[in-house]
Structure 1
Amino acid sequence: MFEQFNPARLRLARLRRQYTLKLLAEKVGLSTKMVSEYEKEPCRYNPPEETLSAFAVALNYPKEFFMDTDNLEPVDRDTVSFRALKRMKASQMHAAVAAGEIGVLINNFFDNKFSLPKTNVPDYRGIEPSSAASAIRSEWDLGHRSISNMIHLLEKNGVRVFSLSENTQDVDAFSFWKDNVPYVFLNTQKSGERSRFDAAHELGHLLLHAHGVPQGKDIEAEADSFAANLLMPKETVLPYKNKLINLSSVLKLKHNWKVSAMALIVQMKNVGVLSEWQYKTLIIDAGKMGLRTREIDGIDRERSLVIEKILLSLREDGISMSKLAQLLHIPLDELSGLLFSIGLVNSGNTDMNQAKTANTRPYLRLVK
């Protein structure tokens, strides 16, 4: 009999695996009602060892995960902004929120060991999206120059960025605030350009819709407008007005801002570079070339610099990725899926007892 069973973690693992109560009950040989009772808080029924083992096998989580008494506060669904909510199944949404909760758990571990960048994300609720994009560029001293790396920019200003390894593009990206810390999760299946736009879109939610808003097309349109104006400021796009713009030139110009061809065409239309006829012609031509779903001459997908530095520091202390997974009681594939798969090479099996001890936390400094 285990004395520290945590019902919240059983529910989290079940939702992460997209299992219904009925499906999990069938896999472990229990009634749906009994599994439901095991998930109720406070803990009313302590599972015997064989039941705990069955849960661990069925959900592919270590038994220790269900016994961990660390406080695991759920992420309020109403505070989560999803990039493409209408395409998602309910099970996918619950699984994504569960990934967010695991991301918070990982961040808490990192935050206790490292001095991470402080949050510098102002509240722009009520501000028009294009004005908010200009304001944050001024706040973050970006001027009008192209943003070299969106993930690094977010991290420099205290946003915790994690990856999503979901085997679907229906879960594009999402963000939320938790304990005054902003989080962004990005799907690793997207192209580099679309992932950058997703990161900017989620920053728009964090700035414009802090701490939860009703979901809807208007809210998503605001975040899209913010992202377009952040990545492609009007001042840098407008000079191309009255110049010959065809699809070939768009494919060259998109590298100035590291955006997709479709995103650049739309922004050129919105700022007055393209006439309605030019816009429609380019959209048709781009569609024929498949540019709605792919990129020609695309850029590399961006990854986290903070996570890379953290994992390097941990490896120097003898803590490999596999050991970190053991320490957090999280499956290795789950951990690597949230950490941009950084650190899987040469993860090794260095003994945790060889880890160095220190009274001060390493400071991770990001550069522009």
Structure 2
Amino acid sequence: MPNLNISRLDFARKRRQLTQKKLAELAGVTPNTLSRLAKGITLDPSMETVTALAKALGYPVSFFFLDDVDELHEKQVSFRSLKAMTAGQTAAALASGALGYLFNDWVSTRFNLPSADLLDLRDEDPVTAAASIRRHWGLGFRPIPNLIKMMEAKGIRVFTLSEGKNVDAFSFWRDGTPYIFLNTLKSAERSRFDAAHELGHLLMHAHGYTDGADVERDADSFASNLLVPREDLIANLSQVRSLSQIVASKHRWGVSVPALARSLKDSDILSEWHYRELCKQIAIAGYRTKEPMSMEREYSVLWRKVLEELWRERFTKESIAAELSIPLDEMNSLLQGVLGERTAPVKANARGLRAV
């Protein structure tokens, strides 16, 4: 039998946001035993010890005897809310990214998934970048009815985040494939804006992510201009007389009330004074925390088709998790938010998705 892979033990510990002391306590082993394992002093622990650690982590024993996981590093990733995250949340989110491409790699051996059709827009300002990708994708000035579906068709892999409200979203490139992880605990409109924000990072900051308010403002500006093109906004909402008018109009572009108000201001449809007055009304109405007349949430089309095809081959989420040697709850954390609740598979029809 191969030796225990200590790096995988550390990976699972970080994913579960456990300290070594807490893991030792949950597994019923001494801290010294775990410390000696982590430092590589003990190379051949008893199967009883490994089983206890695996049970405490909720991972199958087989996970800890495979090759190293190709882990993500913080500098590879664009985090939407890094300052609000604890070190444990950051490490767990990075680990979820690695699990995402483990799943993607496994699926890619069985299907021809869409390849990336993005541009390198690092030298363009956010407004120009949004116009460039719209032109490249043939969108014109019309609204985007389903952003996740469009991004998946352009080769972006979209997964769910399960680290709580402090982690909004993040994105990264790996081996020429772009990934976006979304927090689906937020409203449908805000999650959609997060997706557009991360697309901005993938396009404008592909050469290396950097921290800073300017970078985040650029991604916000890109998202606003991608989702609400100025030309379409002027054509359909050239005058604003009340907050209720904004609420009634937001569904055209699939954005939140505050986001649409900001777009109206940036497009010079609202004066600075009018915008500030509307912001006060938005705050009083509670629309910064609860979206009125919320739109229907967007879900993944790609992963649904993949799972339906695999289901026809008698693959379930449980059997896929077993193939990857990961817990079922990790499979669900990656996919549940972007798949939505399904009681039964729909009629399998994977047009555009070919088995290898």
> Shorter-chain TM-score: what band?
over 0.9
Paired residue type of 1:140? W
Match of 2:332 in 1: 336
Q: Does 1:209 align with 2:198?
A: no
For 1:72-221, list aligned pairs within 5 A: 72-166=69-163, 168-221=164-217
Q: 1:232 touches 1:257 (CA, 8 Å); kept in 2? A: yes
Q: 2:240 touches 2:270 (CA, 8 Å); kept in 1? A: no
| CA RMSD, Structure 1 to Structure 2 (Å) | 2.1
Q: Which moved more, 1:140-149 or 1:29-38?
A: 29-38
Q: 1:38 touches 1:44 (CA, 8 Å); kept in 2? A: yes
Match of 1:364 in 2: 353
Match of 1:19 in 2: 18
Secondary structure at the residue paired with 1:298?
coil
Q: Distance in 1 between matches of 2:93 and 2:76?
A: 13
Describe the shift of the 1:137–1:24 C-alpha distance in structure 2 as closer, same or farther (beyond 3 A). Answer: same
Q: 1:78 touches 1:213 (CA, 8 Å); kept in 2? A: yes
Q: 1:303 touches 1:340 (CA, 8 Å); kept in 2? A: no
Match of 2:37 in 1: 38
Q: Does 1:306 align with 2:302?
A: yes
Q: 2:14 touches 2:91 (CA, 8 Å); kept in 1? A: yes
CA offset digits 1:12-58 (Å, max 9, x no partner): 111111111222122224454543453468x9613211111111111
Match of 2:2 in 1: 3
Unmatched tracts of structure 1, length 5 or more: 348-360
Q: 1:176 touches 1:206 (CA, 8 Å); kept in 2? A: yes
Q: 1:228 touches 1:263 (CA, 8 Å); kept in 2? A: yes
Describe the shift of the 1:329–1:299 C-alpha distance in structure 2 as closer, same or farther (beyond 3 A). Answer: same
Q: Distance in 2 between matches of 1:228 and 1:256?
A: 14
Q: Which moved more, 1:262-271 or 1:22-31?
A: 22-31
Secondary structure at the residue paired with 1:182?
strand
Q: Distance in 1 between matches of 2:301 and 2:238?
A: 40
Q: 1:321 touches 1:344 (CA, 8 Å); kept in 2? A: no
Q: Distance in 2 between matches of 1:126 and 1:228?
A: 19
When the two structures are superposed, what TM-score results if normalisation uses the length of structure 2?
A: 0.92
Q: Which residue of the other structure, out of 218, 224, 227, is the alignment partner of 2:220?
A: 224
Match of 2:64 in 1: 66
Number of equivalences: 348
Q: 2:240 touches 2:246 (CA, 8 Å); kept in 1? A: no
Q: 2:72 touches 2:98 (CA, 8 Å); kept in 1? A: yes
Q: 1:17 touches 1:59 (CA, 8 Å); kept in 2? A: yes
Secondary structure at the residue paired with 1:262?
helix
CA offset digits 1:131-176 (Å, max 9, x no partner): 000000001111111001111111111111111233x211110001
Q: 1:4 touches 1:68 (CA, 8 Å); kept in 2? A: no
Q: 1:113 touches 1:362 (CA, 8 Å); kept in 2? A: no
Describe the shift of the 1:270–1:362 C-alpha distance in structure 2 as closer, same or farther (beyond 3 A). Answer: closer
Q: Which moved more, 1:331-340 or 1:303-312?
A: 331-340
Q: Distance in 2 between matches of 1:215 and 1:327?
A: 37
Describe the shift of the 1:35–1:345 C-alpha distance in structure 2 as closer, same or farther (beyond 3 A). Answer: farther
Match of 1:50 in 2: 48
Q: 1:133 touches 1:226 (CA, 8 Å); kept in 2? A: yes
CA offset digits 1:291-341 (Å, max 9, x no partner): 111111101221111100000000000011111111211111210110135
Describe the shift of the 1:127–1:7 C-alpha distance in structure 2 as closer, same or farther (beyond 3 A). Answer: same
Shift in Å, 1:262: 0.5
Q: Distance in 1 between matches of 2:14 and 2:182?
A: 19
Secondary structure at the residue paired with 1:183?
strand
Unmatched tracts of structure 2, length 5 or more: none
Q: Distance in 1 between matches of 2:344 and 2:5?
A: 33
Q: Distance in 1 between matches of 2:132 and 2:45?
A: 54
Secondary structure at the residue paired with 2:112?
coil
Q: 1:114 touches 1:363 (CA, 8 Å); kept in 2? A: no
Shift in Å, 1:245: 2.9
Q: Distance in 1 between matches of 2:311 and 2:20?
A: 39
Match of 2:315 in 1: 319
Secondary structure at the residue paired with 2:172?
strand
Q: Distance in 2 between matches of 1:157 and 1:275?
A: 37
Q: Distance in 2 between matches of 1:56 and 1:339?
A: 23
Describe the shift of the 1:63–1:362 C-alpha distance in structure 2 as closer, same or farther (beyond 3 A). Answer: farther
Shift in Å, 1:260: 0.4
Match of 1:248 in 2: 244
Paired residue type of 1:183? Y
Secondary structure at the residue paired with 2:181?
strand
Shift in Å, 1:285: 0.6
